[in-house]
Amino acid sequence: MLANNEPAGGRSRLREVSLAGSLLPWYDRHARDLPWRTGPHARARGIRPDPYHVWLSEIMLQQTTVATVKAYFERFTTRWPNITSLAAAEDADVMAAWAGLGYYARARNLLKCARAVAERGGFPQSEEELRDLPGIGPYTAAAIAAIAFDRQAGVMDGNVERVIARFHAIDTPLPGAKRSLKALVDAQTPATRPGDYAQAVMDLGATICSPKNPACGICPAMQNCAGRARGIAADLPVKAPKAAKPTRLGLAYLVRRQDGAWLLETRPPKGLLGGMLGWPSTEWSGDMPPDAPPLVADWQDPQLEVRHTFTHFHLRLALRIAQVPMAAAPIRGSFRPKAEFRPGDLPTLMRKAYDLAAPILLRD
């Protein structure tokens, strides 16, 4: 809801004011140059966005910064330039290329979605059909529909949420305000250039209407912004306090064979880091779990611990290391030859463990 102490008459006026009228001319001049984006000048010349690029970037950008995604996007599109080539890729290759981006269920769904789209001969254009594809939720479906196909779909990510909350001075705490914000986003999305409009609001939130210290003085929408008028823009959106994250404990086992091979296992397809390559480990629980080494060895405790934070908990992973002879027979995982092992293929958590243990295990 709009703030109760908004000036009389302001509520209906602000509801009628269109952001598109001020943001689209600004976007035409200041649109960010992003590798997956077809800019407004290219679109004006009839160059259409590639739905594959729009989809891939939107999946990568979930919970990840633009700066991080740029390099991954360029590597992916160089190696798999279209949806057909990605659909034909080996699971292990895609998971390795995704390593470091986090939220690994996205990578599993990426392959499922690519194969589903390739099988049907291309991306559907409506939000409803897009939502039926693996890994595509309401936000991503709206983004693809609007940006790739010029459908009048209301796109709301974190940047858009912040812009709209400030523009309308909505002070209901999140997440309770999300439904009202989405209704405003839908109502204000224009029928003309909806994709450019969605990207304009995103760009405004990323560059001017930033989380802290918004640059209201240069904002193209400042004349009609209720948050600015009331002097509360920087305080919006209001967020409910987050619950404290619990801490889980576990053990990870790093083993190097005499010939330089490393003992690795592919994690189960479901769950955290599902389908990713990693070190054998115990369960992660509130209390330190019992020791569960993957083979018989002279295990050492190097007094090293990896600390990593997931969405819902913190993890403290104590390391155990061992050097083993050629005859070592693991009961879990398999040895990967030295020439085939690339630390960069590991997810961030496992790469942290390698970085700590490798200086010890690589000593001769």
Residues 157-206: tens digit of each pLDDT: 999 999 999 999 999 999 999 999 999 999 999 999 999 999 999 999 99
pLDDT averaged over every residue in the chain: 93
What does the pLDDT look like over 97-134, one tens digit per residue?
999 998 899 999 999 999 999 999 999 999 999 999 99
Task: Confirm whether 90 is a catalytic residue.
Answer: no
Strand, helix or coil for residue 277: strand
- Residue type at 126? S
Average of per-residue pLDDT across 38-60: 95
Q: For residue range 247-278, what is the model confidence (pLDDT) as tens digits? A: 999 999 999 999 999 999 999 888 889 889 99
Closest among 161, 164, 211, 218 to 188, alpha carbons compared: 164
Within 10 A of 338 (CB to CB), how many other CB atoms are there?
12
**Whole-model pTM?**
0.83
Distance (Å, whole) CA 19 – CA 85: 39
**Catalytic one of 6, 16, 58, 90:** 58
The pLDDT value recorded for residue 3 is 42
Distant-in-sequence, close-in-space partners of 266: CB < 8 Å, separation ≥ 6 = 92, 275, 276, 277, 278
Read out DSSP for 149-177? H--------HHHHHHHHHHTTB-SPBTTT
Q: What type of residue sits at position 317?
A: L
Euclidean distance between CA atoms 94 and 97, whole angstroms: 5
Cα dist from 322 to 112, 194, 277, 293, 351, whole Å: 37, 58, 19, 10, 17
How many Cα atoms within 13 Å fall on the side-chain side of residue 249? 7
For position 11, what pLDDT does the model report? 42
pLDDT band at 2 (very low <50, low <70, confident <90, very high): very low
Extract the tokens encoding 241.
Answer: 């306090």
